[in-house]
Structure 1
Amino acid sequence: MSSFDRNFQPTSSCFGFVTSQQSSNDATSWKKREGTGTIDGMLSEALKDLTFEERQQQQEILHGVQGQMREEENMVQNTLQDLDKYLNNTKRGTYYETAESMNPDYVRARAFRIMFLRGNRYDAKAAAQQMLKFFEQKHKIFGDEKLVKDITLDDLDEDDIACLKTGASQLLGRDSANRQILLQVPSLRAFANHQNELRALYYILMTASRSQETQIRGCAAILYTVGDHKDAKKGVGYLDNMRLTMSLPLYMAGNHVCGDRDTAESFLWSVAVKMLPAKRRARLRMHFGSHTECQYLLSTYGIPSQMLPFRPGTYMVNLETHHNWCQSYLLMEKQKSGHVPSPLAVTQINANDVLYVDRKKNNNMGNQRLRALIKEFSSQYDAGSNETKKLMVDALLGEIRKAGGRFLKQQANCTSERQLVWEELSLEEARAKVTQLFRNNRRRPEASRDRIHGGFIISDFPRPNDVVFGKGARSPGSELLQRLIKNRSHEYDSLDRGMKKDLVDSILHQIKEQGGRFLQPTEVFGEFLAVTDDMARARISKYFRNNRRSINKTAGQSISSTTR
């Protein structure tokens, strides 16, 4: 009942790099590709096999600057029909056929099939081949009884959970293109039996695959073997890991392999690279060097070093976030029943996300941007028909998504700031939130920007030397002003009124001589009011007065505690 190619040759890669040489997509047969040479040479050779347009497309995918995948309903429906045809022609004697006879609704579910189509960029033939391999691998790992069941943590035994918690494979946050980051650190590999690792890996990757955002944008995978992070198991089980990974509907938009150039791993990687089709090679990057060098190279592909769970200096792996992720899923799945899949837990947010915490107002950049869009289009929304309003709501959702934002709500079981876990809202929930914002904006009297007198509006973001007024504003210019206020406060308090004005003027000119401006945020996201010199003088004088009050208050508290 095997759907694997009998001529399959092993390679040492836990990403499942190997794909069909007969398809330009990331399909699923593993025939060995011919070719020799260095890794750099093979990657360069791959580009020669592609047209200019194909090279450009793969580079855009790798760097996360390609347009969003189009999913027109007619195209989706036609591809689903093609998928059915391929499956009907090839399913005989496979575990797919077994699963279909056990629970046809599970196997034929539209969302389930679209997951495989997205994972193969709507190549119906490649998706059909992958579905056959998916059920074969699932049967091999979990057996008949779980073949038509969404796998949860309850389906894993103690050794599986222990393997999951090692962090050898873990989901981080998202890169700058909002793609899910998958990190694999071979030095952390540990298991009682290799089946434990396979079940843990299946759970992690299928959890990522359930997110529609990840299905559409793909995954950025990192294999990190720098320094002491060489494989603890010396390559044992890589072949089975690869087979499993290639059977799962997770689109690898970018593969990054980090390591030392003069290692056995680099030779094994070259074997894996040879087996890649040209398009997949074009999305693979090898990074050789120290921890600092490799992490810098990753940052040039939109994966900042702050996203990686390595402790500064020692480069040991900090597993706190990963363990929080495991615990959040354990708690979340206990609250679920039936076959409804759990939503994807999010432990790391980005600036473009729209966040909901109870009924509190949130000032994350994504929330500010959404409020600005609501205000900008509120008059058109109020004047439109019901159909127009629905289209406008969807358009705003699209704007947030284009910027890499998600609509997230804090999970109810979060009890501390250190263990915040978020849950992505469904499409209907997000629509309801945006619709309510439009209604609230209509009811709330619009704060008039005409009340701002003097100055002029700028639409560019602050420069480093600008002073940005407002609570929580931080910039080098603002910090310079605070230091000047603190250092010259005694001098200011000792001067008469006229001399105080001269001191304030000298500080104002010192800021402006360094190219700084004095800015006040407006209610519109991304807009600032460049205040007049008189307004800036008034603010600086107020800061001096506030600083004096703060000093007096601190001194009073010190005297009080001494007399006690």
Structure 2
Amino acid sequence: MLDDSLWDTFLWDDYFLTDEDVSDTNIKPDEDESKSAEIFSVPVPQNASDPESAASLIASQMAKLSVADREKAYNDVHAIPDDFVKETPELIHNSLWGLQGEIDILPDKKAYSIAEQLNPTYTQDRDFRLAFLRCEKFDCKKAALRFVRHFQMKLDLFGQDKLVRDITQDDLDADEMEILHLSNGRFLNAHDKAGRRMNMIVMVNKTYRTDSCLRKSFYITMAVCREIEIQRRGLVNVSIQFGNEVKGTSADNLDLVWKLPKQNQAIPLWHSAIHLCCTKGAWESHYAMVKTALDKQSQVRCRVHCCDTILECLEELRGYGIDPSCIPVNNKGEITDRIKDHKRLEQQRRQERLRYPTPNMIGVPFCEDVLLGKGTPFQIHRGNKKLQQFVADRYKKYERAQKGAKKAVAQEIINVVRGNGGLFLKQDGNKWVPVTDDVALLKVAALFRYLRLKNGKK
């Protein structure tokens, strides 16, 4: 296996593998260079979970790099700051034209063509395209392939009706929202010494469907890719596995283990460094598949930290420009800031509601939503309880108002709910549908009538 000492001295060694060194593996090192837009259908190589084959694959990729590229990979892994591409107006103009030219000659771009027909304003958005160019250091050919892969993956995960709009929490179903609120995979509000944002993945003791995990991962990644500094600098991924049993954890899904790294090939963000942390035990095969599934640029920036405890693993990260105190896990590998992260997700969803048009269907109600229906689940919902308080606070004003002015008081309450990011929803099967203001007014008026009866008035 490619151990730490070899990795750390690789930059200075004249080390190249011979054909004999890699003849015993069935993994194709340049498989990620395929021009296909479909990334999830790539078959799992026969030796994908073999640690020795994965190590040989990464060593062969490293040997193919030029001296300059090896130095760049070494610096990226060790958080040594590097200048990113200077973006002049001429470079941006020429690159955007070049990107379109490369897209035009790609043979496999069915999903992109559908998106272009549905909403060319979305597909041709300048800032959106620049994110893909920055990810590939303004290499138009690579950016074009990543761009069409993005639409193919989005079509596969969310369907055509969501292909040409940004994905929000309203698009996630109950399982996906549960995974999101586990806080086990998310971008931290922390950076390494090179100023790169960090993404944390922590395995949890529960398994989920592959498609649910991929949709949740797509959402959180695209939610941060608007940040220009992330587009320019890339991100640092820290994956944490704990315990000696893979079975029963979120890693106990080989389909997901293979596909999740593949998703990176269709997202406008690149990995500056990948750190796989685990306690000594049963994770070698798991991490071998992860490393095999990565694209070759990520493979040579991947490090494994295998120690007796999670805290020892995290302490090793200091040598790579990462302060372990930024990683919110304890010595058992448990997340320590879940409540804080839940509040962050609520704020993020509130901002999405205020920024984007109201969707036709919603998977899981927001805490600020008012649910129309009868029974305890509706009464105890946070949004319904807040509405009751809004009505109580304005009861006297409503009573004093003339008949024509009562509607304005009720509308004022609706506006407050909407201003907080809330909607009035009715259930439709396993989905929720926003209602019109006229229906919402009836709900508010009914609460005022209830208070009147409660106060002994007819």
Q: TM-score, normalised by structure 2?
A: 0.62
Deviation sequence 1:314-351 (CA, Å, 0-9, x none): 43212123212211112222332449xxxxxxxxxxxx
In structure 2, the partner of 1:280 is: 298
Change in 2 beyond 3 A, CA 1:321/1:298: farther
Give the whole-Å Cα distance in 2 for the aligned partners of 1:279 and 1:200. Answer: 24
AA in 2 matched with 1:269: Y
- The 2-side partners of 1:229 and 1:210 are apart by 37
The residue aligned with 1:61 is 76
Q: How far apart, CA to CA, are the structure 2 residues paired with 1:274 and 1:233?
A: 16
- Give the superposition deviation at 1:228: 6.1
1:110-140, CA deviations, whole angstroms, 9 ceiling, x for partnerless residues? 1111111112222211111112221111112
| One-letter identity of the residue aligned with 1:309 | P
The answer as to 2:324 corresponding to 1:305 is: yes
Distance in 2 (CA, whole Å) between partners of 1:190 and 1:328 is: 27
Q: Which residue of 2 aligns with 1:20?
A: 32
Distance 1:327 1:18 in 2: 42
State the identity %. Answer: 23
1:317 aligned residue (323, 328, 335): 335
What stretches of structure 2 of length at least 5 have no aligned partner? 1-25, 359-418, 421-458
Show the counterpart of 1:235.
253
Cα displacement string for residues 24-56 of structure 1 (whole angstroms, at most 9, x for unaligned residues): xxx999696999836656544443322222211
Once the two structures are TM-superposed, the CA of residue 219 in structure 1 deviates from its matched residue by 0.6
Do the aligned partners of residues 329 and 118 (structure 1) sit closer, same or farther apart at CA in structure 2, a change above 3 Å counting?
same
Query: 2:130 is paired with a residue of what secondary structure?
Result: helix
Q: In structure 1, give the amino acid aligned to 2:306.
A: F
Change (3 A) 1:338 1:92: same
- Distance apart, 1:190 and its partner CA: 4.7
Pick one of 183, 186, 199 that aligns with 1:170.
186
Query: Structure 2: how far apart are the matches of 1:233 and 1:58?
Result: 27
Aligned counterparts of 1:234 and 1:45: Cα–Cα separation in 2:
29
Retained in 2: the 8 A contact 1:28–1:130? no
Q: 2:201 aligns with which of 178, 184, 190?
A: 184
State which structure, 1 or 2, has the greater radius of gyration over its C-alpha atoms: 1
- Cα distance change of structure 1 residues 337 and 259 upon mapping to structure 2, 3 Å threshold: closer
Q: Is the 8 A contact 1:166 1:188 kept in 2?
A: no
- 1:183 partner SS: strand
Once residues 55 and 280 of structure 2 are traced to their aligned partners in structure 1, the CA distance between those partners, rounded to angstroms, is: 12
Alpha-carbon distance in 1 for matches of 2:206, 2:107: 35
**Distance in 1 between the 2:57 and 2:143 partners?**
27
- AA aligned to 1:331 is R
Local SS of the residue matching 2:156: helix
Q: Distance in 2 between matches of 1:140 and 1:321?
A: 32
1:248/1:33 CA distance change after superposition, 3 Å: farther
Measure the CA separation in 2 of the matches of 1:30 and 1:21: 12
- Aligned-residue offset at 1:97: 0.1
| Cα pair 1:50 1:278 within 8 Å, conserved | no
User: Which residue of structure 2 lines up, in the alignment, with residue 51 of structure 1?
Assistant: 66
Q: Distance in 1 between matches of 2:260 and 2:30?
A: 12
1:93-108 equivalence runs, <5 A: 94-108=110-124
Q: Which residue of 2 aligns with 1:487?
A: none
Deviations 1:258-313 (A, max 9, x none): 124442x31243344356565433211111112122101112212211111113x4
Matches within 5 A, 1:479-494: none
CA contact (8 A) 2:168 2:219 kept: yes
**SS of the counterpart of 2:340?**
helix
Q: Which runs of 5+ in 1 are unaligned?
A: 1-9, 12-16, 340-411, 414-564
Residue pairs, 1:217-232, within 5 angstroms: 217-227=233-243, 230=246, 231-232=249-250
Once residues 135 and 119 of structure 1 are traced to their aligned partners in structure 2, the CA distance between those partners, rounded to angstroms, is 16
Q: Could you report, residue by residue, the CA deviation over 1:7-26 in whole angstroms, capped at 9, with x for unpaired residues?
A: xxx99xxxxx9962479xxx
Say whether the 8 Å CA contact 1:226–1:291 is kept in structure 2: yes
- What residue in structure 2 maps to residue 374 of structure 1? none
- What displacement does 1:233 show? 5.0
User: How many Å separate the matches in 2 of 1:163 and 1:181?
Assistant: 19
Give the secondary-structure state (helix, strand or coil) at the position aligned to 1:224.
strand
The reply on whether 1:292 has 2:307 as its aligned counterpart is no
The aligned amino acid for 1:223 is S
Larger relative contact order (Cα-Cα within 8 Å, sequence gap ≥ 6)? 2
Structure 1: how far apart are the matches of 2:109 and 2:321?
44
Deviation at 1:255, TM superposition (A): 0.7
Number of residue pairs the alignment of both structures matches: 322
What is the CA–CA distance in structure 1 between the aligned matches of 2:31 and 2:128, rounded to whole Å?
22
- 2:364 maps to none
Deviations 1:417-446 (A, max 9, x none): xxxxxxxxxxxxxxxxxxxxxxxxxxxxxx
Q: Determine if the alignment matches structure 1 residue 247 to structure 2 residue 263.
A: no
Q: How does 1:369-518 map to 2 (within 5 A)?
A: none
Q: 1:291 and 1:89 mapped to 2: Cα distance?
A: 48
RMSD of Structure 2 on Structure 1 (CA)? 3.4
Q: Which moved more, 1:62-71 or 1:115-124?
A: 62-71
Q: Deviations over 1:170-197 (max 9, x none)?
A: 1112222221111111225554x44332
Deviation at 1:216, TM superposition (A): 0.8
Match of 2:165 among 133, 149, 170: 149
Q: Residue type matched to 1:235 in 2?
A: N
Deviates more, 1:216-225 or 1:39-48: 39-48
CA distance in 1, matches of 2:267, 2:90: 25
Residue 222 of structure 1, CA deviation: 1.4
Q: Structure 1 pair 39/99, CA: closer, same or farther in 2 (3 Å)?
A: closer
